[in-house]
Structure formats: structure tokens, C-alpha cells
Amino acid sequence: MVLKLQVNIYSPEDNADKINGFTIVVDVLRAFSVSYFINANNPRKYIVVDSIEQAFKLKEIITDSLLIGERQGIKINVFDFSNSPTEIINQDFTNKTIIHTTTAGTKGLIVQKITNEVVAGSFVNLNALVEYIYNKKINVVNIYCTAPKNVTIGEEDYYFAEYLKSILLGNPLNFLTIVEKLKLGTGKGFSEKGFAPYSDFAYCMELNRFNKILSKKIVNNHDYQIELEEIY
């Protein structure tokens, strides 16, 4: 099935206030791949924040909370976990509140208009996104890449955007070709000598590992405003 739809691809250089309608916020390596690994571990609540300071503040006031995050790819000092699927894949987050902050991904989620339906997307849940768009008969799809344009670090977001667009418009690109290109680009940073293990790259490139969608939820709380909740 191919919908007659419009697919728009945006970057941080674009004004998010001018984006209208259904929006997929993308951070393939690694925030919005990690989000689905977090969700699979059954947290009680999943909070997204902009700053390290806010994360620490929430940690002090929320019982049984865990901090997950990075800055420039590196685990934040004294956080419980880095922004790493390898670190969290075998964890049990039952009855835990997760507080997540990253360099680009979580910030990109936060800046989206509160009037838009905003979801987190990555290769790990791509088919769920396609099914959701078809089932809801969405005719305008906005894809917001959280990495800057035209740089190697972050190119994966734009590969994702073009791949998803190609599927929605009925002319799918070759996923394995994308993976091989990324191994020669961003993927080089994932190794024993890199900033993160290669397994992080491999987990984030597991196409359709999760048949789930996490949506941005605005909450009325003076300590924080955004949660991610499963809607599909």
C-alpha cells in the first residue's frame, strides 16, 4: 500500500515552530534507538530533559529514578548509564523512573511544537512508524533529524529520513547498502578504541527490532514537562 502523502525532511537549522502536523524526531545513533531499549525494560515512567542540572534535580526528588545520558557521546559523570543500548539491554527498569538527556536527540524532541503529534523514530522501529502512518491515514509526514546537515557525525539521521521516505512513497532504498555506507562513516567511531562499543552501532541498526512507537507527552509538572509514552 502506498499513500498519497507529502514527506518533509528537516534539520536543526530549520525553525521547529514552523513545522506543522505529525512529526518524527530522529536520532539513530543513539538517543531514539536507546529509547526503545529503555521502553523494552518496562520503566514506570520515562522522562526527557534538556539539561544535566535538571536531570540531577529530578534524581533527588523522584524515588527509584535512574539517569541515562551523554554529552558529545561520552557518559555523563555519575549518571547510572550512558546513552548506550549495550549498557541497558539486560537491565530491568520495573518500578524505575528513567530520566534521559542527550546532546542532540532529547533537545530535538523538546523544541517541537506542543500542538503537533511528535514521536521518536529510528531504524529499530521503522516498520511500526510506517504502519502507524498508514493506519492513521496521515498525509503529511515531517521527519526532524536532530543532527546537523552535511557532517559525518549524524549522517545516519538523514539516511534514515531518506529510507523512510522511500518506503512511504513506494520506491524503497536498499537498507543493507545504507548500513555499509554508515560503517565507513559514523560507524567508525564505534569500536574498542572509539567513544562507544561497536555493539551500540549494531543494536541501533537492527531494523524493526521493536514494533512500538513512543510519543511525546506534555505533562503538567513544575519540575519537568516532557515524558515519552508508548502509543503503539
- Per-residue pLDDT, 150: 84
Pairwise CA distance, residues 23 & 117, whole Å: 6
pLDDT digits (tens, 9 = 90+) for 75-130: 999 999 999 999 999 999 999 999 999 999 999 999 999 999 999 999 999 999 99
Q: Which of 25-34, 166-175, 186-195, 199-208 shows the lowest per-residue confidence on average (mean pLDDT)? A: 186-195
Does residue 216 belong to any structural domain of this protein?
yes
Q: How far apart are CA 85 and CA 37, in angstroms?
A: 6
Q: How many helices (H) and strands (E) does the chain have?
A: 8, 10
In a domain, 1, yes or no: no
Q: What is the pLDDT of residues 1-28, one digit of tens each?
A: 555 799 999 999 999 999 999 999 999 9
- The range of the structural domain enclosing residue 52 comes to 6-230
Q: How many structural domains is the chain composed of?
A: 1
pLDDT on residue 213: 98
Q: Which three cell numbers stand for residue 129?
A: 512508524
Q: How many CB atoms lie within 10 A of CB 95?
A: 11
- Note the pLDDT of residue 15: 97
pLDDT category of residue 220 using cuts at 50, 70 and 90:
confident
- Say what the pTM is: 0.96
21-62 tens-digit pLDDT: 999 999 999 999 999 999 999 999 999 999 999 999 999 999
Q: Is residue 27 part of a domain?
A: yes
Closest CA to 118 of 1, 10, 43, 197: 10
Provide the pLDDT for residue 3. 53
| CATH classification at residue 187 | 3.90.1560.10
